[in-house]
Structure 1
Amino acid sequence: MPTRRIAQIVHLKPSAAEAYKKCHAAVWPEVLQQIQDCNITDYSIFFDNDCTLFATFKWVGSDWEGDMKKMSQKPKVREWWAMTDGMQESPIPDAVSSAEGPGWWKVLDEVFHTD
């Protein structure tokens, strides 16, 4: 199965920039383990100081839907999402949260890549 590259954006509330950076400087071990267990590698989040967060990662699994369901079922991950969602504003119409609804982070279309 080939590696799938994912890029996403979400908006950070201006008042939450420092808290967001602080919590990501010490991500909970259970969250890091679940990311790995769901076949996500090379995960980075970038901040452009204009309140946009840009995330990129590689997914190396064989069942995307299954891995995303597994990710969302971990209570500690849901707790993490509740905390970080409160710091963000989703660009997705009718977004509810990372755990529910049509999605929270907007997935971007890849238009160019080189190995």
Structure 2
Amino acid sequence: MIRKASIMYVKKEAYKEYKKRHDDIWPEMVSELKKHGAHNYSIFLEEKTGQLFAYLEIESEEKWAQMAQTEACQKWWKSMDPLMETHEDYSPVSIDLQEVFYLA
């Protein structure tokens, strides 16, 4: 498994809605995430800044990269656009983090 972590940003006025949408995540989104090798996916919120810390484990970078091209992902990104900092293609502004320590 490959461990990945990133930082994203949610608008402060959207915290509750962001959580609600993830509590009610679409079944087709869950299916595509699993189909594209995602495991142990968690997102944490830092309320003072709106930073989201995302962590997941993937089976391969190639398989994971294909997730962005799925219809479910494209629809999800577009639906989340009002709540988050996003790019023109609706993908979330995201900063990949480099792992510096791991204790198994």
- Relative to the length of structure 2, the TM-score reads 0.87
Asked if the contact 1:30/1:77 (under 8 Å) is kept, the reply is no
Tell me the secondary structure at the aligned position of residue 86 of structure 1: helix
Unaligned runs of 5+ in 1: none
| Two-structure CA RMSD over aligned residues (Å) | 1.6
- Relative to the length of structure 1, the TM-score reads 0.80
Whole-angstrom CA distance in 1 between matches of 2:63 and 2:54 = 21
Answering whether residue 54 of structure 2 is matched by residue 55 of structure 1, we say yes
Q: How many residues align?
A: 102
Q: What pairs up with 1:1-115 in 2 under 5 angstroms?
A: 3-50=1-48, 51-61=50-60, 64-69=61-66, 71-89=67-85, 95-96=87-88, 97-98=90-91, 104-115=93-104
Asked if the contact 1:6/1:57 (under 8 Å) is kept, the reply is yes
Unaligned runs of 5+ in 2: none
**Bigger relative contact order, structure 1 or 2 (CA pairs below 8 A, ≥6 apart):** 2
Runs of 4+ aligned structure 1 residues displaced above 4 Å come to: none
